[in-house]
Structure 1
Amino acid sequence: MIIKSMKNHFSIPFTDPIAIIFLMFSLILFAPIFSQRLKIPGIIGLIFAGILVGPNSLNLLSKNIGVTIFSTIGLLYLMFLAGLEIDIKSFQKNKNRSLVFGLLTFSIPFTIGCSVFYILLDKQIFSTLFVAIMFSTHTLLSYPIASRFGLSKTEVVTITTGGTIITDSLVLFILTILSSVTKDKLDAYFWLRFLGLVLVFMFVVVRLVPIASQYLFKKIRGDSGIQYLFVLFILFFSAFGAELAGLEPMIGAFLSGLVLNKFIPHTSALMNRILFIGNTLFIPFFLISVGMIINIKAFFSGIGAIVIAVALITVAITSKFLAAYFTQKIFKYSNNERNLIFGLSNSHAAATIAVILVGHQLKWLDETILNATVLLILVSCIVSSFVTQSASKKIVIQELEATHPQTADKQEKILVSLSNPSTMERLLDFSFLIKNSKPSQPIYPLMIVLDDDMYEKKVMAGFAAMEKAIFHASATETLLEPVIRVDLNPANGISRAIKEISITKTIIGWNEKPSKVDFLFGTLLENLLNLTDKMLIVTRCSYPLDRIGKVQVWFMESAELEFGFSDWVSMVVTLVKNTNANLVFNGNIQTIQAIRSIQKNLKNTVYNSLPDILAANFYLESVSENDLVIFIAARQGAISYQPSNENLRKMVLKYSDRCNFVIVYPEQKSENRTI
């Protein structure tokens, strides 16, 4: 009985569900670890793991329905993330560049492929066309590498993603035509049905899904589990709709990512959950499944297979590089940006497999081409991963070296003063949005306990509150390092913490009604402004921060002359990147010019030249709950200080029920203050 049970569990290939799941999770866990030891991209490790256990090697796993389902989910998830993480405003602004790259990465490989394989395949037109359109495809297999380096919102990644959809759509459209021609089904009814279904699909996904998403996200706010299930529902609804319309499901997955892009902030707990599950589970399944179809032995089946394989690999890699090269020359990108485009667009996987399998089923492509294509998939994925990782590293290093000198040598440390449990989450959420440092750098939540007879109980209550803060931050994988201080008054405790921890930015909440004690001895803000020169940020956020659509920044004359000028500009830019919001700068022309000089690549930004910050009264009449208004104030005696500073509190109180407000006091050096 035991022997029979053992045979059932260890039959080759595995048929027992537990054995299959155990093996898959073992590969997902250990393949990246070994890859790291060998200093190769984790993606390559997962593909080689698939080769090792696949039907063409140890034959431990077969392409059964379970593996197929998870690998399909992984591919769709990959395209969904590409749409979700893309900078939607940059995507819209650079749609013409995406179109140019898409046409180049389609036409150059197609033309070269036709020229070479028309001769190699004995002038067989249909066989040549199937191989040629296969060269034009690519899968964003190495996209997670660029995303991990924080480049998912850069222009070159954006146009590469857009170009991927264009070239793969053209390929799959031509594939549909070729299949119909060979089956004699290309008639007027085919075209009417195809175009009609595509139009219906686009209307539903682009028009109706955003309306439903906005309504449901409002209704289910706070329930992250239901939100995640809704995201998955939209993903597979769009993918299935694309399939019903005669398109490739991954096009629907990408569109669903674009549609949900504006509803899911990059720093939100929901986005973290989407990325975590995709990168940890679904996408590795897809990468392993890619390895499972690769047959290394096919390369040694004969001289003909070697010639075809070498020709396929040479044409594929060369043509994709040429497409990236011409894109670089047209749009004047750097060599590293060109290499990133090439790395992302060089890998052949999902769409390539679809084209070759259809050609093989229709008897236009033989086993030699099929096996050679599988080797092409392996080589292109390896090249893609190495090139993408190398280019991403160099681009990040370049960006760090180009950082403005005032901020380049600073290590950002954010302190959040917590005193009111009802505002704790909003204060922390704001700190997540402005955080622009390494994930390993924590945020410091601070609680000040007054030194009285009850201080011990208050300290214990403070630890309980900090546990809630840590739990809240864990949803976004933000590291917190709680700080509790016992002091005679809050201002002294906060200023001491700022000095001891070398804090660069301090966030405090809005004091609605100053007490009589505050009137006599000064408010917390007034005392802090005198005790520390570091940046102080006062927030009054009445509405959820994950719905910010526009950030309006108002600043005083001569704000550009302050020591902390570049710091607050950088903070605003980080906030906008993390929320995908529109950005509006309001102030005098000299400060606007200074902002442009240190943020030369700032896009989707409006600059309004206005004489005085009091002009905000007029503009604030039209704000909504999706707006965030930031006032850049100044300490008394600072270069940019004006009497109108004292009116900021009145403006905030007047319009506080309409939108979120923030007042920023930039870092100040004593020598910068006037006498």
Structure 2
Amino acid sequence: MRMHLDIHDPVFTFAVALSAVLLVPMLFRRFRLPDIVGLITAGIVLGPHATGLIHSDSFVQPFGQVGLLYLMFLAGLEIDMHRFRREKRNSLVFGGITFLVPMVVGVSGALLMLGMDWAAALLLASMFASHTLLPYPIVQKLGLVKARSVTTAVGGTVLTDTLALLVLAVVAESAGGDLSTGFWVRLWVLLAVYVAVAFLTIPALGRWFFRRFSYESMPGFLFVIVIAYSFAALAPLAGLEPIIGAFLSGLALNLLIPERSRLMIRLGFVGESFFIPLFLISVGLMVNVSTLLDSGRVWVLLVFMVTGAYMAKYLAARLAGRLLGFSSSETGLLFGLSVNQTAATLAAVVVGVNLGIFSEDVLNGTILMILATCAMGPIITDRHGRALAMEGREEPLSSSGAPERVMIPVSSADQIEPLMSLAVLVRNPEAGQDLYPTMIVGSSDDSEEMLAEAERILAGAVVMAVEADVGVRPVTRLAGATLEGLMAAARDSRISTIILDEDYAMERDPANLPVLVADADRQMVLRAMNLGSLNTAARMLVAVPPLMEKQSGFAQAWEAVSRLALQTGAHPLIIGEEATLLSMRRLLGRSDGLLSRADTAYLEDWHGAADMLFSLYGMDDLLVIMAARTGRLAWQPSQERMIGQLERKLKALQLIVLHPPEMKWETAEAESRPAVDFREIFPPGRVLLHMTETDGEEALRILIKKGYGQDEALEEECLRQLRESPLWLSGDCVMVHTHEAGPPAPMALLATARNGFDLNGRTARILLLLLGTPGETPEEHLGRLAVVAGMLHGKETASAVVETSDYDTLSRMLSDNTDGG
């Protein structure tokens, strides 16, 4: 049999393309160059005009077209519409300027210097006008996400990219040469109809679908993909390019898909790991480097496109910065974020070449422009971002949102990765616990500067949590004593778990570490020592002292240990006295996942635990010691001494000391409930009975507008709470509560519907909104919540409220129920 290698074979082409997708970005990152630069370069090198390993007629080109549509869909989906609305003025100013200035520069240069016609000049200028926030991860790591220059750049991107794509739509439709009045009427009418259909139909379909299927399900993912490509395919019916349809479908779905949801992460992963890289390689396949040597005109074009893009975006940033009163660092950051040309630029040039508006020279110039801007944009962003971070101009991070659950105190950026990794592994994903990275700043003359530095450090934790698809609530607090401040923050935030680096506590207040552990009886405390990469642990040794299984909170702690073993893949070895392990099996049941697959090592007596652990521990192991608090049933006087001995003998010891919780938050909070006159906070205007609206979100909007008034920030916060953390008081009643964006005085709003409100597939007949004041403490707000919840506790009360048809009867009923409680 003759053996040969056919480089035209689709399997070979696919292997080469995927190898480039894997290896080229890794190589370019070593030189601090963006992935997009590497993948386009790979397409040039592998393409028909160079090595010929991938031919232009291969399957890569069709996949490239699919990738282009996916890229534009993600561009619409990832635009931060909420931030655009919040920063409307700055966004409109910058968006308008960064669109108009490049359009003027581009059109003038294309007509006067390059001799292009109007269609080509407008399309070329629109490529200058659009931009992509490629260096955005840099500002995330610097903790500048909420800096006004960053929010302005993000909001401005929405406007300028939309306008640039609109220019593309007009130029593409006019390519046939018919520019009569009928053409313009037909274009705008069809465009208006298409946009109206997209923004009316897609959100309605999305709400209907996601009421029946989870965002995290496979049907949810496929639904979004089908919507994107279906509306892209229908775009030509309106005389538009498919990429316009893909972009508009992303915008239409924008507010339906949470930014940090698993669905959004899946969409980004599929696009960034497969479709978009293949598109970038397909762009490289179109480039013919040999044409650069053909004539001097080609070089004039290349120089104009690179310098024109830089100059236009620089002038726009300078002008906008002056009008908005930005500092030099803020203006420089605005320029660094907006100079990068990628998504919309590539879309425009590919469409222009396909329609015959652009020559191959313009394609080559575009690639060079992209390489130049994407290489310099991150450098400019990093330089001015660091300068701005030192100035401390960024706004403080917001602490509004769902209740915090897992707290991770840190003092430096080096502690973030190991502690956050541990937090992700031990958290219960079904409980929806947030990670709460915390920095406690001591009171001193430079406290404000230290607080700003703390927020910047915590930005790394935010990025890591987002990448892990985990909710995060960073916090900074000013306190005289670090550990006392830490416990106060934990109490205020209703923290359930504290993950504490042992060095963090020992460096700050070693004498009070035992006091902290004892006082944190409502929280499970994990004291971590010398943690490395937990996923590389071969075994997890779990030491269980006598009577630990009888300790309050043991079941919760054991679940955390089980999740840690499952997530790391480490083989568990449970160490303890035989009576203790047998009692655990009886209490937990033989079906317990960790016990059923774990090896066991029996101790004759707990006093010999240190010697056995020393003999069993290996370099690739993780040791978990379950420990009771001082004086509790399972407390061992020798436990701290044993930990010290192990640390001294085992220099590379990876250790977690786990203290189970002793008390539940609910018990503690129920001790004090403020007296509230509900007749004052339930006036008739704040109660809507027998609503006909069945959509829960729309009903909440109506309730806020009629009961409180127009307040976009409050409405947005309450809708987010309703989607992410609704409080179900009974089978019929759901509550939303907040005191971060509340009114000047506490109030409650109530709505009922006999047919029910639809909330993601679950039905509530009572919708209750509790608004506290921003100034009240969490304890005051929670006490008020407990009293309000007590009014409607139980299905009988809820059913009676739903059937009540007038306010006076309802007021008496609720007052009687409160007094009786």
The aligned residue for residue 431 of structure 1 is 434
The aligned residue for residue 201 of structure 1 is 194
The alignment of Structure 1 onto Structure 2 pairs a total of residues equal to 549
Q: Max radius of gyration: which structure?
A: 2
1:158 to 2:154 alignment: yes
Tell me the distance in 1 between the aligned counterparts of 2:592 and 2:698. 31
Mapping for residues 404-415 of structure 1, pairs under 5 Å? 409=411
Does the CA contact (< 8 Å) of 2:98 and 2:313 recur in 1?
Answer: yes
Tell me the distance in 2 between the aligned counterparts of 1:263 and 1:207. 13
DSSP-derived class of the 1:142 partner: coil
Tell me the distance in 2 between the aligned counterparts of 1:433 and 1:245. 49
Tell me the distance in 1 between the aligned counterparts of 2:668 and 2:191. 60
Mapping for residues 66-85 of structure 1, pairs under 5 Å? 66-85=59-78
Match of 1:608 among 733, 743, 752: 743
Q: What is the Cα deviation at residue 227 of structure 1?
A: 0.6
Aligned amino acid, residue 331 of structure 1:
L
Tell me the distance in 1 between the aligned counterparts of 2:156 and 2:633. 52
1:275 to 2:268 alignment: yes
Where is the helix percentage greater, Structure 1 or Structure 2? 1
DSSP-derived class of the 1:63 partner: coil
Tell me the distance in 2 between the aligned counterparts of 1:316 and 1:56. 27
Q: What TM-score do the two structures reach when normalised by structure 1?
A: 0.65
Q: What is the Cα deviation at residue 509 of structure 1?
A: 7.7
Query: Given the superposition, is the C-alpha separation of residues 239 and 507 from structure 1 closer, same or farther in structure 2, using an over 3 Å criterion?
Result: farther
Cα deviation digits, residues 532-583 of structure 1 (max 9, x gap): xxxxxxxxxxxxxx999989xxxxxxxxxxxxxxxxxxxx99x9799699x9
Match of 2:788 among 651, 655, 668: 651
Tell me the distance in 2 between the aligned counterparts of 1:424 and 1:294. 50
Query: Given the superposition, is the C-alpha separation of residues 159 and 439 from structure 1 closer, same or farther in structure 2, using an over 3 Å criterion?
Result: closer
Query: Given the superposition, is the C-alpha separation of residues 418 and 609 from structure 1 closer, same or farther in structure 2, using an over 3 Å criterion?
Result: farther
Match of 1:142 among 117, 126, 134: 134
Mapping for residues 8-407 of structure 1, pairs under 5 Å? 9-10=6-7, 15-64=8-57, 66-121=59-114, 125-126=117-118, 129-130=121-122, 132-140=124-132, 142=134, 145=137, 149=141, 155-176=151-172, 178-180=174-176, 183=177, 185-221=178-214, 224-349=217-342, 351-352=344-345, 368-369=361-362, 371-388=364-381
Query: Given the superposition, is the C-alpha separation of residues 371 and 453 from structure 1 closer, same or farther in structure 2, using an over 3 Å criterion?
Result: closer
Query: Given the superposition, is the C-alpha separation of residues 654 and 398 from structure 1 closer, same or farther in structure 2, using an over 3 Å criterion?
Result: farther
The aligned residue for residue 674 of structure 2 is none
Tell me the distance in 1 between the aligned counterparts of 2:212 and 2:190. 31
Query: Given the superposition, is the C-alpha separation of residues 230 and 171 from structure 1 closer, same or farther in structure 2, using an over 3 Å criterion?
Result: same
Identity between Structure 1 and Structure 2 (%): 27
Does the CA contact (< 8 Å) of 1:328 and 1:338 recur in 2?
Answer: yes
Across the aligned residues of Structure 1 and Structure 2, the Cα RMSD in angstroms comes to 5.5
Aligned amino acid, residue 231 of structure 1:
V
Q: What is the Cα deviation at residue 409 of structure 1?
A: 4.1
1:448 to 2:554 alignment: yes
Tell me the distance in 2 between the aligned counterparts of 1:152 and 1:257. 23
Q: What is the Cα deviation at residue 280 of structure 1?
A: 1.8
Tell me the distance in 1 between the aligned counterparts of 2:669 and 2:425. 14
Query: Given the superposition, is the C-alpha separation of residues 455 and 128 from structure 1 closer, same or farther in structure 2, using an over 3 Å criterion?
Result: closer
Tell me the distance in 2 between the aligned counterparts of 1:503 and 1:628. 39
Q: What TM-score do the two structures reach when normalised by structure 2?
A: 0.55
Does the CA contact (< 8 Å) of 1:79 and 1:254 recur in 2?
Answer: yes
Cα deviation digits, residues 380-429 of structure 1 (max 9, x gap): 3433454456666777787799768x99848787999999xxx96542x1
Does the CA contact (< 8 Å) of 1:43 and 1:142 recur in 2?
Answer: no
Tell me the distance in 1 between the aligned counterparts of 2:462 and 2:156. 26
Query: Given the superposition, is the C-alpha separation of residues 279 and 259 from structure 1 closer, same or farther in structure 2, using an over 3 Å criterion?
Result: same
Does the CA contact (< 8 Å) of 1:77 and 1:278 recur in 2?
Answer: yes
Q: What is the Cα deviation at residue 53 of structure 1?
A: 1.0
Aligned amino acid, residue 218 of structure 1:
R
Query: Given the superposition, is the C-alpha separation of residues 340 and 141 from structure 1 closer, same or farther in structure 2, using an over 3 Å criterion?
Result: same
DSSP-derived class of the 2:59 partner: helix
Query: Given the superposition, is the C-alpha separation of residues 282 and 493 from structure 1 closer, same or farther in structure 2, using an over 3 Å criterion?
Result: farther
The aligned residue for residue 652 of structure 2 is none
Tell me the distance in 2 between the aligned counterparts of 1:210 and 1:506. 44
Query: Given the superposition, is the C-alpha separation of residues 321 and 265 from structure 1 closer, same or farther in structure 2, using an over 3 Å criterion?
Result: same
Cα deviation digits, residues 613-652 of structure 1 (max 9, x gap): xx44x3356898698978999xxxxx96989976643433
Cα deviation digits, residues 38-93 of structure 1 (max 9, x gap): 23333322222222212222121133363233323333333333333333222234
Cα deviation digits, residues 414-470 of structure 1 (max 9, x gap): 999999xxx96542x132699972566899696624979631354677963899xxx
DSSP-derived class of the 2:749 partner: helix
Tell me the distance in 2 between the aligned counterparts of 1:648 and 1:34. 55
Aligned amino acid, residue 431 of structure 1:
D
Tell me the distance in 2 between the aligned counterparts of 1:27 and 1:402. 41
Q: Which runs of 5+ in 2 are unaligned?
A: 400-408, 439-457, 471-496, 499-523, 525-552, 559-579, 597-621, 644-654, 672-695, 702-716, 727-735, 761-766, 796-821
Query: Given the superposition, is the C-alpha separation of residues 264 and 296 from structure 1 closer, same or farther in structure 2, using an over 3 Å criterion?
Result: same
Tell me the distance in 1 between the aligned counterparts of 2:590 and 2:225. 39
**Please, which moves more after superposition, 198-207 or 291-300?**
291-300
Q: What is the Cα deviation at residue 236 of structure 1?
A: 1.6
Q: Which runs of 5+ in 1 are unaligned?
A: 468-480, 512-522, 528-545, 552-571, 587-604, 634-638, 659-675
Aligned amino acid, residue 743 of structure 2:
N
Query: Given the superposition, is the C-alpha separation of residues 168 and 129 from structure 1 closer, same or farther in structure 2, using an over 3 Å criterion?
Result: same
Aligned amino acid, residue 455 of structure 1:
M
Does the CA contact (< 8 Å) of 1:267 and 1:578 recur in 2?
Answer: no
